[in-house]
Structure 1
Amino acid sequence: MSLLALITQGGLVSQWVALLLLAMSVASWIVILWKAWLLQRAARDVARSTAAFWQSPSLAQARDNVAPFDREALVLPLVAATQLAPGGTLASAGEASAQLTRVLRNALHAALNKLQFGQVLLATVGSTAPFVGLLGTVWGIYHALTGMAGAGQVTIDKVSGPVGEALIMTAAGLAVAIPAVLAYNVFGRSIGRIEADLEGFAFDLRELVAGQGTKASRP
């Protein structure tokens, strides 16, 4: 009831702070649960997809073999990127190796953007939620002290209650920020591992396709 009383009696600022912390908490937990599911699937998909690719007899067959395992579409776009653009455009200008590097880089960036999605929100919540809670605390203390000053005599008993209630806002801000910060760090490590696997696969894929092109061009 103390938190409810603080929100209802603290004025419009306290109510907005409470609503903002609630929105930040809900948004961060949605992202946390979704990214935990996504990264778990992504790590499994990359391992299975790359294994299926290297066990394929040809690039054409590899696309069919990778598709059932790549549910998050992280590896298959890299494999599809080896099919260079048709002639007549700037995308097809230059040497084949340069074209291959560009399309693989673009496909890799698209995959990494999908993995990174939501990290900015977690970082923002983790860094700002304590200050939002502190704002609610400061305003609650100010509101409580002005109210007691108008009532006349002020004793420690009358001060400790409202100030303690106002400090709940700081605790609420920390309760919102701590899960977001922990999730950001854990997900960052997972994304780093998946990113390293994808970059290694893209490099090996480029060497493979470039090598096949060199062999094909030999008399």
Structure 2
Amino acid sequence: MLTTILTAGAPPANFDMLHALNQGGFISWTTAIILTGMLFFTFYILFTKWFEQQKIINQGRRVRQSFWGANSLREGAAKLEKNSAYRQIVDDGLKAQEQYKELTDPIEAHDWLHGSLARSENSINSDLGGGLAFLATVGATAPFIGLFGTVVGIFRALIKIGAEGQASIGTVAGPVGEALIMTALGLVVAVPAVLAFNYLQRRNKSIQEALNTFSNDVLGFLASDGRVRPAVASRKGAPAAKAPQATTTA
């Protein structure tokens, strides 16, 4: 009854997001645009990196099924996609083997090949990690950007209270609503960024372990002239077949 009497003569208030942002003016709109841009790029990085990771995961499955059944690394590399991460490691290993023959400074072949393959892995891992720093930055800073909008909204509410001399609902509803919207928007941006970062990071770690295992296998093949290689992966539940033993170098 009291609420009805107090609001009988007052015009209906608008508390939607657009009205609150308009009340906040330039600062609120700038904060909202920055947070919206962060959210857009968060989802863009999430989906593009996911497809990139899935492509390498699928390449790894094909490597386990067919690559080590070849008689040489060159023959196996011909079965891989031209721009695949696994093809890059094989090509870099073969190139390092050729370069070793041209070295005049004495160095162990194992050290030279291992260093070359490690550089190839690091290059791939660096590409996989692209964009993750942005996700981490968004996850860490978005709540504080939203908090900035919150502080501005509360400050505006206090100014209105001081100007009118009373803290009525009509006085503070707009600025406080604007402040709460900024807080919520900051959290809406930060939470997906943190989840995306952890999810992509975990998948990157799994891919890096697979690439490292493959790189070690390539190193063993090169260092043993093809006598050391992993067993060919089995298919449809059949026992793994022993890979053919090569008698010549890669």
Superposed pair shares fold, TM > 0.5: yes
Does residue 123 of the first structure (1) align with residue 136 of the second (2)?
A: yes
Does residue 76 of the first structure (1) align with residue 51 of the second (2)?
A: no
The TM-score, its normalising length taken from structure 1, stands at 0.87
Q: How many residues align?
A: 213
Structure 1 partner of 2:57:
43
Work out whether residues 135 and 193 of structure 2, in 8 Å CA contact, stay in contact via their aligned partners in 1. yes
Which shows bigger deviation, 75-84 or 154-163? 154-163
Structure 2 partner of 1:197:
210
Structure 2 unaligned regions, length at least 5: 1-14, 228-246
Task: Give the residue type in structure 2 aligned to 1:182.
Answer: L
Deviation at 1:148, TM superposition (A): 3.5
- CA distance in 2 between counterparts of 1:93 and 1:15 reads 65
- CA distance in 2 between counterparts of 1:49 and 1:127 reads 38
> 2:26 aligned to 5, 12, 33, which one?
12
Specify the SS of the correspondent of 2:190. helix
Identity %: 34
Residue-by-residue CA offset, 1:22-53 (whole Å, 9 max, x unaligned): 11111111101111212222211122134332
Residue-by-residue CA offset, 1:79-102 (whole Å, 9 max, x unaligned): 011222536568x86222121011
Does residue 58 of the first structure (1) align with residue 72 of the second (2)?
A: yes
Task: Give the residue type in structure 2 aligned to 1:30.
Answer: Y
- Equivalences for 1:1-219 in 2 at 5 Å? 2-67=16-81, 73-83=84-94, 84=96, 86=99, 94-212=107-225
Work out whether residues 156 and 175 of structure 2, in 8 Å CA contact, stay in contact via their aligned partners in 1. no
- CA distance in 2 between counterparts of 1:93 and 1:11 reads 70
The structure richer in helix per residue is 1
Please report the RMSD computed on the Cα atoms of aligned residues, expressed in angstroms. 2.4
- Which structure would you say has the larger Rg? 2
The TM-score, its normalising length taken from structure 2, stands at 0.77
- CA distance in 2 between counterparts of 1:158 and 1:150 reads 10
Work out whether residues 50 and 201 of structure 1, in 8 Å CA contact, stay in contact via their aligned partners in 2. no
